[in-house]
Amino acid sequence: MTAHDRTASPRLDAPERDTLKFVRDYKLQLSIFGILVILYAVFLIGNPAVFTQFPIYRSFMTTMPFFGIMAISVTYVITLGEIDLSFPSVVGISSWVFGTVFVATGSFALAVAGGLLVGLLAGMINGIIITRIGVPSIVATIGTMFLWRGLVNLMSQGKGIALVGLRDSALYDVFVGRLFGTIPVQFVWFVAIALAFGLVYRRHRYGSHLLYVGDNQESARMMGINVERVKTIAFMQMGFFAALAGIFLTAEVTYFWPTQGDGMLLTTLAAVFIGGTSVFGGTGTIFGTFIGVIIIGSLEAGIIAIGLTGFWVRFLNGLLITVSVSVYAFMLKRNR
């Protein structure tokens, strides 16, 4: 045996190599999943009577999809290095259209079509202002945020719309029914949308274009990628899925109120940033956003269940975001 043989590192067998490669390739996703495991371990230890029973999880599955769908959608926009602050207001205007069309026609299908069309139009307007006129996305979407919210207040005159009749429609159970009488259908939609977005993000050409443009849009343009079209599509789908989230919320509570969507901005963006999508663009993960939604969506109830006051919610939200973003930034820095 030579000296080289004695000092050489032992060869890894195939399973060990595959494991190391998996950890290296998915360390960002594994990190966010580890945060979820630790959080739920604290909840289980703090109040096992609550967190070993199904009702608390059914409650989470009922409420998470409303902002979770938007978090999945806005991951595309943030991957581009852009931001959309208008989607809570798009929820409001689309929900108003949904409710108004239903009251006027009695048709659930027409109401859904009207709401989704308005969301798509709102997203297209954002895309045009940002890509064609050249207004920075943060400025453009602040403007449209106030525009759509103001329009909702003008059109509704501050009045809500009762929509109890939605429950008589066959489509009601398709949107917000209970699968097997237990599992909220909106959660099934949320999971399906997350899977579809994840496949596009990692397996489709458009997902590659998002990452290229977010990393360096001038280089992407030299590669022949239509940067303006990629960005416009991202904002249009954001508007569409904000409208869909608004329809789910309105159908679940069978009521529209003019402030619908308010309060969703920070929770939605927090889920995306905790999930590991970089605010600078070029990197992101749909799986991370999905886990981030679960963390944000269960944090308040978990904190109260283990005996802490609601005052801890914002503190822990801020702590999670700060620690997560710092860890992810450090990991990305080491990879360069």
3-state secondary structure of 169: coil
Tell me the pLDDT tens digit for each residue of 223-244.
Answer: 999 999 999 999 999 999 999 9
Q: What is the pLDDT of residue 12?
A: 61
3-state secondary structure of 83: coil
Token look-up 């594994």 returns 30
> Does 40 have pLDDT greater than 70?
yes
3-state secondary structure of 284: coil
105 Cβ contact partners less than 8 Å away, ≥ 6 residues apart: 111
Q: What is the rounded CA–CA span in Å between residue 175 and residue 184?
A: 9
- Going by C-alpha positions, the residue among 61, 62, 86 that lies closest to residue 74 is 86
Domain ranges of the chain: 34-330
Q: What is the pLDDT of residue 332?
A: 65
Q: What is the pLDDT of residue 66?
A: 94
Q: What is the pLDDT of residue 232?
A: 97
Q: What is the pLDDT of residue 11?
A: 64
Question: What is the rounded average pLDDT for all residues in the chain?
Answer: 89
> Does 49 have pLDDT greater than 60?
yes
How would you class 216 by CB atoms within 10 Å of its CB: exposed for 0-12, middle for 13-18, buried for 19 or more?
Answer: middle
Residues 50, 59 contacting (CB under 8 angstroms): no
Q: What is the rounded CA–CA span in Å between residue 307 and residue 46?
A: 8
pTM: 0.90
* Mean pLDDT of the 293-320 span: 83
Q: What is the pLDDT of residue 1?
A: 47
Q: Between helices 286-305 and 185-203, what is the axis angle to 10°?
A: 150
Q: Which of 8-17, 39-48, 143-152, 226-235 has the lowest mean pLDDT?
A: 8-17
Q: What is the pLDDT of residue 320?
A: 78
* Mean pLDDT of the 275-301 span: 89
Residue at 81: amino acid letter: G
Token look-up 């045009």 returns 128
How would you class 220 by CB atoms within 10 Å of its CB: exposed for 0-12, middle for 13-18, buried for 19 or more?
Answer: buried
The yes/no answer on whether domain 34-330 falls in CATH 1.10.3470 is: yes
Q: Between helices 286-305 and 54-79, what is the axis angle to 10°?
A: 140
> Does 292 have pLDDT greater than 60?
yes
Local confidence band at 6 (pLDDT 50, 70, 90 cut-offs): very low
> Does 73 have pLDDT greater than 70?
yes
Local confidence band at 129 (pLDDT 50, 70, 90 cut-offs): very high
41 Cβ contact partners less than 8 Å away, ≥ 6 residues apart: none
Tell me the pLDDT tens digit for each residue of 175-186.
Answer: 999 988 889 999
* pLDDT > 70: percent of the chain: 91
- Quick one: the chain helix, strand, coil %, rounded to 5? 80, 0, 20
**99: its two tokens:** 């409710």
Cα–Cα distance list, 226 to 126, 221, 231, 279 (Å)? 17, 6, 9, 22
